[in-house]
Structure 1
Amino acid sequence: MLALALTGQIAWAVENSWFNTFVYDTITPDPRPVAWMVAGSAITATLTTLFMGTLSDRTRTRWGRRRPFILIGYILWGLSTVLFPTVAYIQTTSVAIVMVVIADSVMTFFGSTANDAAFSAWTTDIATTETRGRVEGVLNLSVFLAQIVAMVAAGMLIDSVGYFTFFYTLGGIVILVGLVAGSLLQDAPLPAKADETQRPFLTEFTELFDINLLKQNRALFIILLFIMLSSIGMQVSLPYLIIYLENYIGVTKSEFSIIGGAVMVGSAVFAVPFGILADKWNKRNMLFVATIVSSLGGIFLSLVNTLPLLALTGLFWQAFSVAMGIASVAWLKDLLPEKSRGKFLGIRMIFWIAIPMVIGPWIGSTLIQNFGTPTTLNGQTGFVPAPIIFQVGSIISLLALVPLFFINDKK
């Protein structure tokens, strides 16, 4: 379990952190392809997780229910990661841009199928009341370790061996772990056929987009609206963060690894008291405080240029963003209808990933084109991201507080 969880989270963390810099450094410094790639990946991830998750629920094979999706998915995920950097060999920039968006979406499809849909469902299948805490502990540990690897090790490795060797190695590890761990994985026993009451597949899938759900669960959708707006604010700058630090501030990838590692460790330390407060304190008050402090952190991050201050402001920006996530998700789960929890957690992906990662990077790209510094890289014209992306993103995050005036967490 740990091998699959850790490998999957590292692959996701690297995609979120370094695929965008790869496009900027090797194909074009135009910010629009980054926005297109992030949007395509987000839509693919959301639809794949919802669709393939529902499909894996209904699958019955002699190899198991989740195992085929995990085994084959991880292998193809690793292979697509190996092939991803080869788009840089395409000489025509417009063709290379189209292919990099397609390649990232294909990789996301396999990753979402293997990890987000099948593996996540498998961990739920095998966990019992006695073991669920340990399972969740392993999963949360893998996320933290993956972020450390992506932030600390990846930048230094790319600086020393280059993008191509780095992606080839990462893809090879994903293939190897998927082949070995996927082959050894044991599916949970299938429920007896007599207990199955399956409705048509498309009926279950399309119910996720039923507008009547909004009318029936007003409080839930107010929380989802907060999650959507705050996530849009974060996505205005996050896809361009490393590009900004490297090209505007002058930070090397190795130096970013130090900053990113410090921020991730600090955020993880803060996560524990945040989790305790989310259970004991009024969640709306916690969201107000966390959103304001995180937004101020983003604004101050745009005003500093030394490593210590970048690390400090980045810590406030990200640590209190973690607090926002903990409180909002905890509040959301408190409100989930008992019989529809899976459905609403699927809907959360639309508000948390699909919409923000389409709108946020587009806003960031537009700001960079209008306020960024013109540049030429490898013969291609583009722009260096400007500090305004953090300032506008923080303002949008503050606007997420408006819906909270129409709801209260009574505690």
Structure 2
Amino acid sequence: MEQRNKLNMRIWLSFILFGLAGQVAWAIENMYLNLFMYRTITTDPFWIALMVASSAVVATLTTLIMGAWSDRLGKRRIFLCAGYFLWGISVILFSASNTSFVAKLFPNSAHIVELTAIFLIILDLIMTFFGSTANDAVFNAYVAEMTTREYRGKIEGLLSSFPLLAMLLVFGILDPIAQGGKWNVFFLIVGVATALLGLLGFVVLPQDKTKPSTTGVWANLRYAFSREAFLENPVYYAALGLLFVVSVSMQVYMPYIIIYIQEFLGFDDYAILLGVVLIASSIVSILAGRLIDRKGFLYPFPYFFTTALVGLVGMFFVRSMVYVGIAVFIMLASYLVLTTIATATLREYTPEGKAGRFQGIRMIFCVMLPMIIGPFVGSALFTQSDAVYLDLGSEKKVPTPNIYLGAAVILLFSLYFYFSLRKKIGRGKLHEREQR
């Protein structure tokens, strides 16, 4: 692959600001919109489920179409900056999602609660459209195009740590506001910060290097799913498979880990310990990125694959808070590094000038499908649990340690894609560093 110029400070700054802000904004949607609807509009789980499902569909379709369109126009900067600005504005509008406001719009309606729920879902879909355009489609393409080979691991190690750091920021700064019921302030802070970042991007981001494609949007959209693309980019699809398996395995336990700690283990004062674990795991991810740059994309895989299994097995057996903290650290840090390995390889071997159209297939196989398959497998592993807890008004079963063994079994399938990549390395398909 053609060598690009080394990264300058503006590019590093753009990765940090837009990458972390995007994860914070997504954390708000994933963790707080359900709570907002439950506490201020309706406790009916149907509306919450409808909002989650419709948002997932819109996010996937948006990434597919807007990624292909950004390739067609050869524009990343305008999509990224304008997308973040409008993303922020759409978050601010959530403060209007209340029954009083909707009652003024429909004074004669007897279904104000239902209309308010629909209004919130529509706003969520608008926000999802702008967020997926800016972050899922364009930012990921921007990272693939602007990062040089020498810095690929460092960048991916940093980006892989952002979801955990975003959780810390949200819980540490914004959660007290939400728990206090100050939702207008909550959405205003997040929305204004995101919108201002979009405006700042016009100053910080360098000009586009991507040239407009000669093919249409539909042709761009189809290409990533075509046999032609698969044959032309075997390393990309092997890395995609690796990331898919790692992501599915992680989603078997990740949606339930806090519930497991609270309800199964009975730990209440775990916040500080979890915060330390998240920070330490993020540091390991960043340091591993540097190792990848020095030794090669696949060098750390056997070590962190092994430690991931150790952490998962540890979580199955341990019960004391200290040992649980150690096991969670080993497990999360290992998964972050495995994700870094896969995403670094994925971005490095994204076809030149076609990064946008490949974000849709990445979204499907590394976000949407893992978030469907993983939790389904996880929940199936504790269906026999007798203990229950309440979640937004619904009675649900308490997760059991079986979820960690299930995740370990799924992770074993990643070996197929690892050895597939090693085989391609043996044919000289990758850089010399990976052949050693």
The TM-score range, normalised by the shorter chain, is 0.7 to 0.9
Assess, with a 3 A threshold, how the Cα gap between structure 1 residues 290 and 103 changes in structure 2: closer, same or farther. farther
Alignment counterpart, residue 248 of structure 2, candidates 220, 232, 242: 232
Q: Which amino acid aligns with 1:108?
A: T
**C-alpha root-mean-square deviation of aligned residues, in Å?**
4.6
State the 1:360 CA deviation: 0.8
Q: Which residue of 2 aligns with 1:109?
A: 129
CA distance in 2, matches of 1:156, 1:217: 43
Assess, with a 3 A threshold, how the Cα gap between structure 1 residues 73 and 222 changes in structure 2: closer, same or farther. same
CA distance in 1, matches of 2:221, 2:49: 27
State the 1:294 CA deviation: 0.9
CA distance in 2, matches of 1:305, 1:165: 35
Contact 2:157–2:286, Cα closer than 8 Å, also in 1: no
Contact 2:71–2:212, Cα closer than 8 Å, also in 1: no
State the 1:359 CA deviation: 0.9
Q: Which residue of 1 aligns with 2:10?
A: none
Q: Are residues 1:182 and 2:202 paired?
A: no
State the 1:141 CA deviation: 6.4
Q: Are residues 1:292 and 2:312 paired?
A: no
Q: Which moved more, 1:146-155 or 1:16-25?
A: 16-25
Q: Are residues 1:241 and 2:234 paired?
A: no
Q: Which amino acid aligns with 1:116?
A: D
Q: Are residues 1:276 and 2:290 paired?
A: yes
Q: Which residue of 2 aligns with 1:150?
A: 167
Structure 2 unaligned segments of length 5 or more: list them. 1-13, 101-110, 426-434
State the 1:395 CA deviation: 1.4
Structure 1 unaligned segments of length 5 or more: list them. none
CA distance in 1, matches of 2:98, 2:157: 28
Contact 1:298–1:317, Cα closer than 8 Å, also in 2: yes
Contact 1:21–1:243, Cα closer than 8 Å, also in 2: no
Contact 2:70–2:356, Cα closer than 8 Å, also in 1: no
State the 1:385 CA deviation: 1.7
Q: Which amino acid aligns with 2:418?
A: L
Counterparts in 2 of 1:66-105, with a 5 A limit? 66-80=80-94, 83=97
Q: Which moved more, 1:52-61 or 1:340-349?
A: 52-61
CA distance in 2, matches of 1:288, 1:34: 41
Contact 1:229–1:400, Cα closer than 8 Å, also in 2: yes
3-state secondary structure, aligned to 1:386: coil
Contact 2:309–2:408, Cα closer than 8 Å, also in 1: yes
CA distance in 2, matches of 1:23, 1:294: 36
3-state secondary structure, aligned to 2:318: coil
CA distance in 1, matches of 2:354, 2:252: 32
CA distance in 2, matches of 1:16, 1:379: 18
Contact 1:59–1:65, Cα closer than 8 Å, also in 2: no
Counterparts in 2 of 1:305-316, with a 5 A limit? 305-316=319-330
Q: Are residues 1:48 and 2:73 paired?
A: no
Q: Are residues 1:394 and 2:408 paired?
A: yes
TM-score by length of 1: 0.75
TM-score by length of 2: 0.71
CA distance in 2, matches of 1:377, 1:146: 23
Contact 1:42–1:353, Cα closer than 8 Å, also in 2: no
CA distance in 2, matches of 1:319, 1:10: 20
Assess, with a 3 A threshold, how the Cα gap between structure 1 residues 341 and 355 changes in structure 2: closer, same or farther. same
CA distance in 2, matches of 1:216, 1:256: 49
CA distance in 2, matches of 1:240, 1:20: 16
CA distance in 2, matches of 1:362, 1:85: 34
Contact 1:232–1:396, Cα closer than 8 Å, also in 2: yes
CA distance in 1, matches of 2:386, 2:317: 15
Q: Which residue of 2 aligns with 1:263?
A: 277
Contact 2:252–2:375, Cα closer than 8 Å, also in 1: yes
Q: Are residues 1:214 and 2:230 paired?
A: yes
Q: Which moved more, 1:290-299 or 1:378-387?
A: 378-387
3-state secondary structure, aligned to 1:174: helix
Q: Which amino acid aligns with 1:52?
A: M
- Aligned-pair identity in percent equals 27
Figure out how many residues of one structure are paired with residues of the other and give that number.
395
3-state secondary structure, aligned to 2:215: coil
Q: Which residue of 2 aligns with 1:351?
A: 365
